[in-house]
Amino acid sequence: MLKRNQFGKDFKWGVTISAFQNEGWANADGKGASIWDTFTNNTSNINNGDEIGNAANFYKQYEQDILLAKQIGLDVFRFSISWSRILPNGTGSINNEGIDYYNRIIDCCLSHQLTPYITLYHWDLPQALEDQGGWTNRQIVHWFLDYTQICIQHFGDRVKHWVVMNEPMTFTGLGYFTGYHAPQKKGILNFLKAAHHAVLCMAQGGRLIRNTIANAQIGVALSCSHVKPVDRKSKNVRAAKRMEALLNRFFIEPLLGMGYPIDVMPALKLINLIFKKGDDQLMSFDFDFIGLQYYFRVVARHSIYPPILFADEVPPVKRNVKLNTMNLDVYPKGLKKVLKFYTAYKKIKSFIISESGVCYPDYLVNGHVYDARRLKYHQMILKQIKKSRKQGIPVNGYFIWTLVDNFEWKEGFEPRFGIVHVDFKSQQRTIKLSGEWFRKFLHS
């Protein structure tokens, strides 16, 4: 039986949300357009033709949601800043109404004894910067540092925990390689430029925070997956190693000063075409913690496409495994395997599971949402964390994805990850069975 005290008194219990997915009110109070505003304006880009509208209405209902987090018993509230709400054009004039809004969120967290964790970048790049090349333009390093400095100046007196960037592999891979996400760019060169510039921004952003805010705790949040080959054939084993390099090694190794994983992906030497003198030093930083975001397992096989990777995933729907709403492989045991993988990097001081969750259909019946499968997922994830801590792996926090149901990017409103149900027409909140379990567990 799981008990809170089994994780230690200093273990951090939190929840994560993101600005674009939760806030809504895209044009309110001086906010500029982001690439995701542009993307979702064309509803044909979104599953079921969903219109984002005011998303989960966090812009107006932030006090209610923060209070819910407190009532459930959490002690960390991780949220992201909308860059274009602070700087409508990405650079230049500051939108003071945006500054005031995030100050109110921070103050609300502190008034409820919730520690605010700020994520500086969670995918919603200002459209004005994308018009100049976005993440493929090296100038973005300067744009990002200017934006970071503004956030430090206005929020750093009360916020000591900073996540510089969220899932760089996801927004560079899906946004600049496959074109599945905003801003719908494609091609290996676009991806390599965007990825390298993201590495530079994470490292230099971390340095800027450390040099400015005393006693700051600084990290990044990296997506990760347990990767295994479809069988023991050598070509599939090698394919899995390449997939693992892309999904689990590509960003952590340069940030640790190890360079990119060209040992199993020699074609990544193409990234040298993007390097400038001194980048080797600029792209590493000694983070206080690494956030790992775990959702699914990947079974890899050899493939002639995509080039350079020469590997793809065996679709979960063809593997007779448990699936979530997004047809992803639900495999909580993979978290322990991923943690063991990352523990090999001796420079990592501490881990936080900065996101994990699962989406299933939910139904509100007589004022209750019985989401037993989501509850079981979180319980199994916590068991993997408990086992990992017993083995000496420094996992020091678990942040639930997510508090309330929200807008799941291209997938729209159908995938529900929240431990609190949202009726998107009325914006009424109802704590689900999973949320009630966490409330009992965290107050025990």
- The answer to whether residues 369 and 363 touch, using CB atoms and an 8 Å cutoff, is yes
Tell me which H or E stretch contains 339. helix 334-343
Quick one: pLDDT at residue 193?
98
Q: Compute the distance between CA of residue 208 and CA of residue 367 in angstroms, rounded to an integer.
A: 48
The verdict on whether omega for the bond into residue 212 sits within 30 degrees of 0, i.e. cis, is no
pLDDT confidence of residue 309: 94
**DSSP result, 155-211:** HTTT--EEEEEE-HHHHHHHHHTS-SSTT---SHHHHHHHHHHHHHHHHHHHHHHHH
Distance CA 424, CA 427 (A): 5
CATH for 14: 3.20.20.80
User: What pLDDT sits at residue 443?
Assistant: 97
Q: Is 167 a catalytic residue?
A: yes
pTM of the prediction?
Answer: 0.98
Q: Which helix (H) or strand (E) holds 64?
A: helix 58-72
Report whether 397 contacts 353 (CB < 8 A): yes
The answer to whether the CB of 358 falls within 8 A of the CB of 324 is yes
CA–CA separation, 235 and 212 (whole Å): 49
Torsion of CA 198, 171, 154, 209, to 10 degrees: -30
Tell me the three state secondary structure of residue 377.
Answer: helix
Q: What are phi and psi of 343, to 5 degrees?
A: -65, -20
Q: Which of 167, 253, 313, 408 is catalytic?
A: 167
Residues 6+ apart with CB under 8 A from 258: none
- How would you classify the pairing of strands 161-166 and 12-16? unpaired
Q: In terms of residue numbers, what domain contains 279?
A: 4-443
Q: What pLDDT, on the 0 to 100 scale, is given for residue 224? A: 98
The one catalytic residue among 23, 253, 313, 355: 355
pLDDT value of position 146? 98
Residue 260: Cβ-neighbour burial (10 angstroms; 0-12, 13-18, 19+)? buried
- The burial class, CB within 10 Å (0-12 / 13-18 / 19+), for 255 is buried
Q: How many CB atoms lie within 10 A of CB 380?
A: 15
pLDDT in tens, the chain (444 residues): 999 999 999 999 999 999 999 999 999 999 999 999 999 999 999 999 999 999 999 999 999 999 999 999 999 999 999 999 999 999 999 999 999 999 999 999 999 999 999 999 999 999 999 999 999 999 999 999 999 999 999 999 999 999 999 999 999 999 999 999 999 999 999 999 999 999 999 999 999 999 999 999 999 999 999 999 999 999 999 999 999 999 999 999 999 999 999 999 998 999 999 999 999 999 999 999 999 999 999 999 999 998 889 999 999 999 999 999 999 999 999 999 999 999 999 999 999 999 999 999 999 999 999 999 999 999 999 999 999 999 999 999 999 999 999 999 999 999 999 999 999 999 999 999 999 999 999 999
Residue 84 tokens, joined: 């274009």
The number of distinct structural domains making up the chain is 1
Strands (E), 244-394: 289-302, 311-313, 351-356, 364-365, 368-369
Residue 414 appears among annotated catalytic residues = no
**What pLDDT does 307 receive?**
85
> In this structure, what token pair is assigned to residue 394?
């420094």
